[in-house]
Amino acid sequence: MPYARMSSRDDNGGLHIESTRPHEIIDSMHAAAAGHAGVAPFILLTLTPFFWACNWIIGRGLSGDIPPMAMTFYRWLVALLILAPFALPRVRRDWPKLRAHWKAMLLLGAIGIGSHNALAYLGLNYTTATNGVILNSFIPVMIIALSWIFVGQRLAAIQMGGVGISLAGVLTILSGGSLAALAAFSVNRGDLLIILSMAMWSTYTICLRWRPANLDMITFLFALCCVGELVMLPFYLGEAALGRHIIWSWTVVLALLGVGLFPSVVAYIFWNRAVEQVGAPVAGLFVHLMPVYGVVLAWLFLGERLQGFHVIGIALILAGIWITSRKQRETIVATPE
């Protein structure tokens, strides 16, 4: 997800999307992907939400073979191993900044890497991937709403209306389009866990204002992964002690390698590269491809079907995003490192 790793706020409360220039060795991946300057960014932006959607499909499809805490732990362990050769020299260089801001790094790693992912995978044990990827579209509006509640960011009346419209879309999906289910609060617990996961992600995004200034992005991501792994370790061990173990197979091994590489590392690099070239406002539009990919992939590989209440729900969510982001887009900028 781009909002967690890309956004921060300046001293005036404006939302900024930061980009970075990854390690020179990783730049070879950029160069290989760049191709023609006018086309390549849009290829990268098209692939990035595809990788994120695949994460949800794998999380749901293998929920019986990979318990949620194990999925979270091994996903970021793979990402750490991939990043380590590039990140360790930078971590040594930036260690004084990390040590000086250890409280902020602990908070950001715990909610952005640990709890957010664990709750998402746990939710996928009880709900469909279709619901998960569509509900995920509500994150931009949730960030704005939580910023208003906890940070005091002012919202115009039209933005408040947009939040309400998106919330109506979420409630449509949670209730399965049934007013009786909504009135009785008879909703899927998996959907509620997904909503809680989104709240963790949104809170993390807001808390990025405490990210150490001028900290290299590769260092930042690697440090967050380390914190997230330490936070998840007792939950992973507790899950195993309760008898929930990975059912190992080549499919499981490849899945763990896949979610550690593509949604966690490659998508991050692609996103940064594309934002540098086309800017955050344009790049942000491509995030909405994620539910489209997710719905199609869930139909192809999981046999899930898109239903009428899904269509109504996502239409309301996207309408609310468009309304609430009209003023936000005026303050979103891309600031290369």
Per-residue pLDDT tens for 134-157?
A: 888 788 778 878 887 777 777 777
Model confidence at 203: pLDDT above 80: yes
Contact between 270 and 106 under an 8 Å Cβ cutoff? The reply is no
Query: According to the model, what pLDDT value does residue 158 have?
Result: 80
What is residue 12's predicted lDDT score, i.e. its pLDDT? 39
Q: Is the per-residue pLDDT at 56 higher than 90?
A: yes
> Which residue shows structure tokens 């609310």?
320
Token digits of residue 291: 């539910």
What Rg, from alpha-carbon coordinates, does the chain have?
19
Helix axis angle for 139-146 and 189-207, nearest 10°, is 60
The 3-state DSSP class for residue 70 equals helix
pLDDT at 25 over 90: no
Under the banding of pLDDT at 50, 70 and 90, the label for residue 188 is confident
* 241-283 pLDDT, tens digit each: 999 999 999 999 999 999 999 999 888 888 877 777 876 656 7
Name the region of 243 (left: φ>0; alpha: ψ -120 to 50; beta: rest).
left
Judged against a pLDDT cut of 50, whether residue 335 lies above it is answered with no
pLDDT band at 85 (very low <50, low <70, confident <90, very high): very high
pTM assigned to the model: 0.79
Tell me what pLDDT residue 152 has. 73
pLDDT given for residue 38 in this prediction: 52
**Dist CA 92 CA 219 (whole Å):** 9
Predicted local distance difference test score (pLDDT) of residue 34: 47
State the pLDDT at residue 280: 62
Higher pLDDT, 172 or 33: 172
Exposure string for 193-217, b = 16+ CB within 10 A, e = fewer: bbbbbbbbbbbbbbbbeebbeebbb
Q: What is the pLDDT of residue 95?
A: 95
Average pLDDT along the chain? 81
- Return the pLDDT at 166: 82
In this structure, what DSSP letter does residue 212 have?
A: P
